[in-house]
A and B are shown apart, each in its own frame.
Chain A
Amino acid sequence: MNLFPLDSKFDFFGKRFIAYGVSVLLLVLSIVALTTKGINMGLDFTGGVVIEVGYPKAANLDAVRALLKKNQYPDAVVQYFGSSEAVMIRMPPAKGQNQNQQADQVLSVLKTEEPGVTMRRVEYVGPAVGKELFNSGGMAMLVVLGGILVYVGFRFQLKLAAGAVLALAHDLFMVLGFVSATGIEFNLTVLAAFLALAGYSINDTIVVFDRIRENFRKIRKGSEIEVMNISTNQTMSRTVMTSMTTFLTVLALYLFGGETLSGFSLTLLVGIVLGTFSSIYVAASLALDLAQAQGSAEDDRQGSGCGYPALGEIDLGEIDARRAVTSINRGGRLD
Chain B
Amino acid sequence: MNRYPWWKNLIIILVLVLAAFLALPNIFGENPALQISKRNALLDRGSLDRAEAALKAANIPIKSARLGDKDGLIQFDSTDDQLKAVNVVRSALGEDYPVALNLAPAAPRWMIDLGVKPMLLGLDLRGGVHFLMQVDMKAAIKTALERRVDGMRGDLRHANIRYISADVDKDDEIAMRFPDASVRDAAVKSLEGNYPELSFDSASRGGQPFLTAQFTPQGAVAERKGALDQNITTLRNRVNELGVSEPLIQQQGDDRIVVELPGIQDTVRAKEIIGATATLEFRLVAGTPSDWTDAQQTGHTPPDARLYHEKNGNPVLLKRQVIVTGDRITGASSGFDQRSGSPAVFVNLDGQGARRMADITGQNIGKQMGVVFIEHRTETKMVDGKPVKDKKLIEQVINVATIQDQLANRFQITGLDSPNEARDLALLLRAGALRAPMDIVEERTVGPSLGAANIQSGINASILGFALVAVFMMIYYRVFGTVSVVALGVNFVLVVAALSLLQATLTLPGIAGMVLTLGIAVDANVLINERIREELRNGMTPQAAIKAGYERAFATILDSHVTTLLAALALFALGSGPIKGFAVTLSIGIMASMFTAIMVTRALINQIYGRRVRLTHLSI
Contact = CB atoms under 8 A, between A and B. Distances in A.
Contacts of B578: 188-189
B273 interface: no
A314 to B, nearest CB: 15
Interface in B435-464: 439-447, 449-450, 453-454, 457-458, 460-462, 464
Most B C-beta atoms less than 10 A away, residue of A103, A121, A151, A198: A121
A118 B440 CA distance: 23
A129 B132 CA distance: 9
Given A148-B563, A237-B530, A251-B468, A126 B574 contact: no
Contacts of A93: 380, 382, 387
B417 interface: no
A104 interface: yes
A192 B457 contact: no
A144 B453 CA distance: 33
Contacts of B555: 210, 322, 325-326
A155 B559 contact: yes
Nearest to B256: A129
B169 interface: no
Interface in A238-262: 238, 241-242, 244-253, 255-258, 260-261
Interface string B377-401: 0111110000100000000000000
Given A52-B450, A249-B516, A252-B465, A335 B586 contact: no
Interface stretch (A10-18, A94-102, A222-230): A94-102
Contact of A255 (B443, B458, B464): B464
Contacts of B562: 151
Interface string A137-178: 101110110011001100100000000000000000000000
A257 B530 contact: no
A257 B124 CA distance: 13
A296 interface: no
A252 B461 contact: yes
A257 B380 contact: no
B267 interface: yes
Contact of B4 (A128, A144, A152, A335): A335
Nearest to A202: B563
Nearest to B481: A1
Interface stretch (B212-220, B301-309, B518-526): B518-526
Contacts of A100: 271, 439-440, 443
A252 B515 contact: yes
Contacts of A140: 570-571, 573-574
A256 to B, nearest CB: 4
A197 B336 CA distance: 63
B441 to A, nearest CB: 4
A146 to B, nearest CB: 10
Contact of B527 (A119, A129, A238, A260): A238
Most B C-beta atoms less than 10 A away, residue of A203, A326, A333: A203
B442 A129 contact: yes
B114 interface: no
Interface stretch (B28-36, B136-144, B407-415, B472-480): B472-480
Contacts of B450: 52, 54, 120-121
B554 A99 contact: no
Nearest to B509: A189
B469 A248 contact: yes
A234 B534 contact: yes
Interface residues of A, number: 88
Contact of B567 (A96, A199, A334, A335): A199
Contacts of B570: 140-141, 143-144, 147, 195
A199 B457 contact: no
A219 interface: no
A249 B472 contact: no
Contacts of A237: 530
Nearest to A237: B530
A334 B8 contact: yes
Given A248-B465, A248-B519, A250-B516, A188 B576 contact: yes
A329 interface: yes
Contacts of B523: 203, 242, 245-246
B617 interface: no
Contact of A249 (B449, B468, B563): B468
Contacts of B267: 104, 119, 122
Contact of A329 (B2, B466, B554): B554
Most B C-beta atoms less than 10 A away, residue of A119, A123, A143, A199: A199
B292 interface: no
Nearest to A235: B530
Interface in A319-335: 322, 325-326, 329, 333-335
Contacts of B427: none
Contact of B566 (A144, A192, A241, A261): A144
A126 B457 contact: no
B564 A199 contact: yes
A45 B267 CA distance: 24
Contacts of A199: 563-568
Nearest to B610: A335
Given A189-B509, A325-B554, A195 B567 contact: yes
A196 B380 contact: no
Contacts of B564: 196, 199-200, 203
Contacts of B537: 6
Given A95-B382, A104-B268, A210-B555, 9 more contacts: A97-B379, A125-B443, A129-B442, A152-B559, A155-B559, A200-B520, A250-B465, A256-B461, A257-B461
9 smallest CB-CB distances across A and B, nearest first, come from A199-B567, A246-B519, A252-B465, A203-B560, A249-B519, A258-B457, A126-B441, A252-B464, A249-B465
9 contacts: A1-B476, A118-B449, A123-B443, A126-B440, A126-B441, A151-B563, A189-B512, A250-B465, A258-B454
